Amino acid sequence: MARTVTTTSLHRFCKRYGPGRLPKADDDSIGAGYAAATAAVVATVAFGLVMVGADFVVAGAFDGTVLAALGLSMAPIVGPLAFVVGVVIWRHLPSETPYYGFTAGFLGTVVTYVGAFLVGCILLVSLAALSVTGTDPVAAGAFAVGVADVGFRLTAWLTVPIGCASGYLYETVAVRSRVPS
């Protein structure tokens, strides 16, 4: 009974103040996109806060502020990308998939990483090909691979659990709360 009350309360809160009030949020796949985008932005902000906090705790032993700024600069890319990925995964993942929300959240996080890498790689290689950066496209592509590798290693410990939790919570709160008991 407590779970139902909590689920209902969280659903009501999201409908009133959160992503549930956005256009077409009642469509399960669009709502999943909103949940994925919200999780991506939350993970980005959380990473920034952790990096600044870690830099403060270890008294500047590493430049956490720069890492935080780099992480936060990805929000305009990963937010919309996670929305699209969330919609596509929710529409195409078979409904009999075990732990549907958790699995969708995990897959969404991984595919968002791949998509962000592709966007970054295309951007860097294109700028190099147009001679904007002063480097050759192959070096720009190699740099993009390195940035993606370091970015994944620095953030996956936070983004994967947030993505999985977001998918699980969306399935539990939004989708199941609309099913009549």
Q: What is the pTM of this model?
A: 0.83
Q: Per residue in 89-126, pLDDT tens?
A: 999 999 888 899 999 999 999 999 999 999 989 999 99
Confidence band of 67 (pLDDT split at 50, 70, 90): confident
Residue 80 pLDDT: 95
Residue 179: pLDDT band by 50, 70, 90 thresholds?
A: low
Which tokens is 126 given?
Answer: 């294109």
Name the token pair of 55. 């830099």
Which pLDDT band, with edges at 50, 70 and 90, does 141 fall under? very high
Q: Can you spell out the DSSP letters for the chain?
A: -HHHHHHHHHHHHHHHHSGGGSTTTTSHHHHHHHHHHHHHHHHHHHHHHHHHHHHHHTTTSS-HHHHHHHHHHTHHHHHHHHHHHHHHHHHHS-TT-TTHHHHHHHHHHHHHHHHHHHHHHHHHHHHHHTTSSSS-HHHHHHHHHHHHHHHHHHHHHHHHHHHHHHHHHIIIIIIHHHS--
Query: And the tokens for 135?
Result: 């480097």
